[in-house]
């Protein structure tokens, strides 16, 4: 039994180390990577847009107020797909807390991350820095565009948009 426990712990440690990747300092990664991505875009080369993320959403129209019906549907999606890893406060559970996310991120970025998770994790330097802190890669939840939009509306409501 002790051998099995020791083997399990060693295996977990190896997986955790392997998932950390290159070991970039997250403080350095955020600013430098954002500047690099912006410079590549200005030079005409296709690159990652750190403000909108990677995906099909280029312009998400938000109302001045929260759509209560969408927010309610989004809360149901969150309860099924998200709250096992994310809290609606700023407290980290498995993943980061959601409080303030709609002030920190543009709606296009949020929608692209929800619907194009794997590519965003591979390309976004701030998501990669978050991955180093959380040590768990967010799984693609295969949410529809409508579910993602409802979830965004729930996040807005959570952040105090009236």
* pLDDT level of residue 16 (50, 70, 90 thresholds): very low
Which range of residues forms the domain containing residue 83?
68-162
d(CA 40, CA 84) in angstroms, rounded, equals 37
Q: What is the pLDDT of residues 80-109, one digit of tens each?
A: 999 999 999 999 999 999 999 999 999 999
**Count of the separate structural domains present in the chain:** 1
The DSSP call for residue 53 is B
Predicted structure pTM score: 0.70
Residue 151 in domain: yes
Residue 146 in domain: yes
Give the pLDDT of residue 7. 56
CATH number of the domain that residue 140 is part of: 1.10.760.10
Residue count of the chain: 162
Q: Any idea what the Cα angle at residue 70 is, between residues 65 and 73, rounded to 5°?
A: 145
Q: What is the pLDDT of residues 107-141, one digit of tens each?
A: 999 999 999 999 999 999 989 999 999 999 999 99
Residue 137 in domain: yes
């Amino acid at each position: 039994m002790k051998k099995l426990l020791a083997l399990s712990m060693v295996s977990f440690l190896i997986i955790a180390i392997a998932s950390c990747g290159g070991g970039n300092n997250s403080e350095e990664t955020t600013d430098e990577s954002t500047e690099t991505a912006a410079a590549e875009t200005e030079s005409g080369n296709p690159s990652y847009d750190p403000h909108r993320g990677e995906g099909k959403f280029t312009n998400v129209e938000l109302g001045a107020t929260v759509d209560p019906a969408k927010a309610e549907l989004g809360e149901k999606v969150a309860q099924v797909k998200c709250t096992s890893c994310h809290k609606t406060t700023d407290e980290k559970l498995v993943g980061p807390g959601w409080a303030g996310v709609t002030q920190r991120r543009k709606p296009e970025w949020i929608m692209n991350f929800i619907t194009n998770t794997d590519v965003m994790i591979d390309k976004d330097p701030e998501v990669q820095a978050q991955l180093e802190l959380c040590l768990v890669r967010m799984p693609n939840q295969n949410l529809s565009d409508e579910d993602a939009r409802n979830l965004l509306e729930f996040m807005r409501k959570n952040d105090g948009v009236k």
